[in-house]
């Protein structure tokens, strides 16, 4: 077989030509780079988080989720993974904590558990070092296309030096140094392979905080925050309770502070996500709350009217719903009554059972931004 010919790139600028001849094709025009960036897609997470993120999680970025235990980090990451699967991405989940239960996966709407590759300690390999986890992730990010990777969590990875020998004090924590080396090595690969890499970590110290700095920092060094294209800091807002006839305590509400460099996002924004047990993020609850805040849903006493559906009754989808319910299309009062609900829980149940109508509400909200 003859030697494969490599195409030569012509450069108009002699300086660029000289540099690329010596160091490789490391210089490209701004136009070419922008054209490449326009091919990057975003993965939707939920209505509230998407608005704060500028559309969702962007391909080619490192995402860091930081927060206290049991605040919803894993649930949110797996919920995003389900959306990534729907876009054709392959999901790898690194279970460094060893706390995985079937509820973690079975309780996420739309998640294809059989299609997830889980990396964790086994009976044959009872202890996996931080170096092993990091090397596996580096290999995946360099070779696997359409990758959605979750490391849960970086906080629980243990360097080999701390594994060897007996438990003892005076061992210098090598994890921040390992992470620093790792992120410097994979930053270009994440972008080149259009991967989304989500790293979950825990809070450790209260730093006092300010408008532009979280009151708590990650427990494995600052490298995570510096390398991330998107930082998502979560705090537990409280229980999600509904009237007793609906089951009372059905989930929890989480507040997010989000800093992202993604186009469309703002440097510092906030969002509230509603995590329903057995579902993941309840998108209908989120959109109902947002639409109410912007008067697309009119709240009057104990009643909530989806006014944006009433105002758009000429929409073929809305019209079909009204016809199916035998509502007089020309009677505005009857139309309004069809989209009037006693209490937020009944409104949310309506949106959950009529996703095509919910999508119209989401579109109305999106137009505001």
Where do the structural domains in the chain lie, given as residue ranges?
39-164+171-281, 292-367
Tens digits of residue pLDDT in 147-163: 999 999 998 999 998 88
CA distances from 209 to 196, 225, 304 (A): 28, 15, 38
pLDDT at 367 over 90: no
The band of 31, judged by pLDDT with boundaries at 50, 70 and 90, is: confident
Tens digits of residue pLDDT in 195-215: 999 999 987 655 555 555 555
CA 299 from centre of chain: 30
What is the pLDDT at residue 13?
A: 85
Rg (CA), the chain: 24
User: 273: helix, coil or strand?
Assistant: strand
142-146, 298-302, 365-369: which range is least confident on average? 365-369
The band of 322, judged by pLDDT with boundaries at 50, 70 and 90, is: very high
Percentage of the chain exceeding pLDDT 70: 87
Q: Which CATH architecture has domain 39-164+171-281?
A: 3-Layer(aba) Sandwich (3.40)
Separation between Cα atoms, residue 62 and residue 186, nearest integer Å: 10
What backbone torsions phi and psi does residue 241 show, to the nearest 5 degrees?
Answer: -115, 145
Which pTM value belongs to this model?
0.86
Helix intervals (H) in the chain: 14-23, 30-37, 47-53, 73-86, 102-106, 130-143, 160-163, 175-192, 223-227, 283-293, 307-311, 316-324, 332-338, 344-353, 355-367
Cis peptide before 153 (omega within 30 of 0): yes
- State the CB neighbour count (10 A cutoff) for residue 108: 23
User: 181: helix, coil or strand?
Assistant: helix
The band of 170, judged by pLDDT with boundaries at 50, 70 and 90, is: low
């Amino acid at each position: 077989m003859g030697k494969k010919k490599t195409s030569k790139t012509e450069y108009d600028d002699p300086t660029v030509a000289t540099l690329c001849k010596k160091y490789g094709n490391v210089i490209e025009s701004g136009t070419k780079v922008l054209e490449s960036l326009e091919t990057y897609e975003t993965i939707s997470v939920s209505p509230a988080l998407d608005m704060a993120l500028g559309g969702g999680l962007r391909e080619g970025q490192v995402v860091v989720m930081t927060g206290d235990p049991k605040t919803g980090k894993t649930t949110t990451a797996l919920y995003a993974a389900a959306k990534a699967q729907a876009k054709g991405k392959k999901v790898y989940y690194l279970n460094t904590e060893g706390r995985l239960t079937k509820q973690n996966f079975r309780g996420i709407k739309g998640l294809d558990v059989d299609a997830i590759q889980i990396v964790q300690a086994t009976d044959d390999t009872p202890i996996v070092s931080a170096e092993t986890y990091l090397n596996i992730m580096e290999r995946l990010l360099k070779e696997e296309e359409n990758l959605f990777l979750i490391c849960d969590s970086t906080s629980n990875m243990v360097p080999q030096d701390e594994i060897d020998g007996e438990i003892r004090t005076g061992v210098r924590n090598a994890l921040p140094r390992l992470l620093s080396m790792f992120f410097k090595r994979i930053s270009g690969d994440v972008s080149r392979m259009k991967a989304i890499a989500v790293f979950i970590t825990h809070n450790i110290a209260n730093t006092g905080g300010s408008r532009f700095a979280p009151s708590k920092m990650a427990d494995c060094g600052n490298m995570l925050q510096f390398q991330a294209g998107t930082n998502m800091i979560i705090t537990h807002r409280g229980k999600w309770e509904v009237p007793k006839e609906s089951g009372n305590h059905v989930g929890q509400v989480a507040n997010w502070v989000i800093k992202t460099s993604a186009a469309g996002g703002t440097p510092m924004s906030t969002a509230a996500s509603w995590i329903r047990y057995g579902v993941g993020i309840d998108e209908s609850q989120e959109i109902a709350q947002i639409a109410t805040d912007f008067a697309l849903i009119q709240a009057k006493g104990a009643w909530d009217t989806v006014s944006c559906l009433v105002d758009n009754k000429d929409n073929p989808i809305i019209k079909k719903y009204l016809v199916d319910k035998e509502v007089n299309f020309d009677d505005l009062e009857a139309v309004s009554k069809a989209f009037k609900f006693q209490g937020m829980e009944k409104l949310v149940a309506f949106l959950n059972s009529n996703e095509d109508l919910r999508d119209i509400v989401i579109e109305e909200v999106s137009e505001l931004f």
